[in-house]
Structure formats: structure tokens, C-alpha cells
Amino acid sequence: MRKYETIFILHPTFEEEVVKASIEKFKGVIENGGGTIDNVDFWGKRKLAYEISKVNDGYYTLINFTAGPELPRELDRIFRITDGVLRHIIVKEEK
């Protein structure tokens, strides 16, 4: 098992319950894939460093998790096909 962290940005027009449901969806993907969630840090709505598709704000969330090496690929796939995810990144934490 390896330690990873992912940060993703959701579209700013989402209602708060849609944002929470999206976070729960991604947590579910991690847990159902055999991973364990270490920490979830919701940063709220923040200004983007640069405009993405004519959008200047987004809801930022950071999730630290432990999983096998195949789970990040599946999580990346889910991020890519989910509407409203502006950007995402998954990084393996160094020891």
C-alpha cells in the first residue's frame, strides 16, 4: 500500500449539496477500490490561479489516502468522466 494525495477543483456554479455529493462519490471510489482515506480537507470556493474555460473560481478539495498502485488510475478515470471537475491531480507522497 502506498500513500497518495489528490486535489480536485469543482465548478463554482454547483450547489453546496452537489459539491458534498461529489466529494462523497470520490471518497466512495477510493474506499470501494480497497483504499483507506486518511484525511479530507475541503478548502471551499477559491479564486483560480488562471482562467479555465472562462471560469475564475472553483471549489477545492484535498484528499490524502492509502491505496494499491492500481487505484490512482481508476480514480483518474473517474475524475476525467465526471462533469464539473475543472482540474485534478493525484500524487504519490514521498517517504
pLDDT of res. 49? 93
Helical (H) or strand (E) element with 50: strand 36-52
pLDDT value of position 69? 92
Query: 50-87: per-residue pLDDT in tens?
Result: 999 899 999 999 999 999 999 999 999 999 999 999 99
Helix (H) or strand (E) holding 94: none
CA-CA-CA-CA torsion for 7, 66, 77, 61, nearest 10 degrees? -20
Alpha-carbon distance of 64 to 20, in angstroms, equals 17
The H or E element spanning position 57 is strand 55-67
Sign of CA dihedral 58, 61, 62, 64: negative
pTM (predicted TM-score): 0.91
| pLDDT for the residue numbered 87 | 96
Is residue 95's pLDDT more than 90? no
Measured CA to CA, the distance from residue 45 to residue 36 in angstroms comes to 26
Domains of the chain: 2-92 (3.30.70.60)
Ramachandran region, residue 53 (left: φ > 0; alpha: ψ -120 to 50; beta: rest): left
State pLDDT tens for residues 11-63: 999 999 999 999 999 999 999 999 999 999 999 999 999 999 899 999 999 99
